[in-house]
Structure 1
């Protein structure tokens, strides 16, 4: 539950705080192992996306596919920007034909059921980039037919926090809160911390990951009722 910072003992009146017109609220957070030194004023993102897994989901008996092709999640970058936890559907909508040569076509639906991409199965191994997820889909010796398909499940993340970075693909690309105090996080263990979830802060004293700037996360911070000013 969010806490209201009420007393001088818990309210750190330094250059980070831009005013008290909006009450400061805080919450306890777990900082993910390997985060290093997370300084006071660091904007944190939350890990909401975990590992990816694949299952056959054809229209045949017990979900079997007619075609014996495969879908394999990319080993290096299975999750792309904008991905969300849940089940993605990859549905074959047209079979491969030999003349003219063409691979099977598939629709990709996100966990909300929205069509996000139309892709083509490769006849030889290759990488298929779909929006939000990255995988390889290859026709086998028996071609896919309409109604064949796969599911790609992205597990929910750990819910732990680390420095926000817009290039991250585990959910921590999205700002969630601001570190209250500096915490040194070991490489092999998580650490407990506290984070502001609301208030007025001096933008010059906020810290971001990667090459991110205040402009990268301004809209999201406003949504959180984290108001940024440059007044001292």
Structure 2
């Protein structure tokens, strides 16, 4: 009597051959790129922090806050929520006290002038002036950058192999936290996912970049 062959489907961590004890081989990072990241997908690192900002619902002033487009997170930036709270109101202006996620004071932000200490943003005046107590929250979700699918034609860092996604993560609509294999591991080269159309030379070069991290394709 014949037996139906068992076919193992792709699953979380299925590409791993060996890894270090404990959690040394893995890190939790931010995955992005407006794409579905698959288990075993080779990733590159787009340097730079990621932060979003929003006004408190109860604000009187209707001015807006804008994070710096190129470097919203600066040296010393921390994960978590920063706050900017209005401490002095003025016609077409105002002063906001800025604190880090641990509630340490970072200085004052003046309406219309860029604030630059751990995070970088500008608060703009609106049609309705700010009042004391108006607040903006700045949520820093990544300080070192975002991992995206490897892209050999890029020039933003994602052209260099930097990690392998442990699991499938849907980052099509927004950046998501995800687990990656980033060091001290052996992986099955046949189960890695490379960019569509990757040439043998490109795969060989990217594999060497993984080896330099201590992630060895077999």
TM-score (norm 2): 0.48
TM-score (norm 1): 0.45
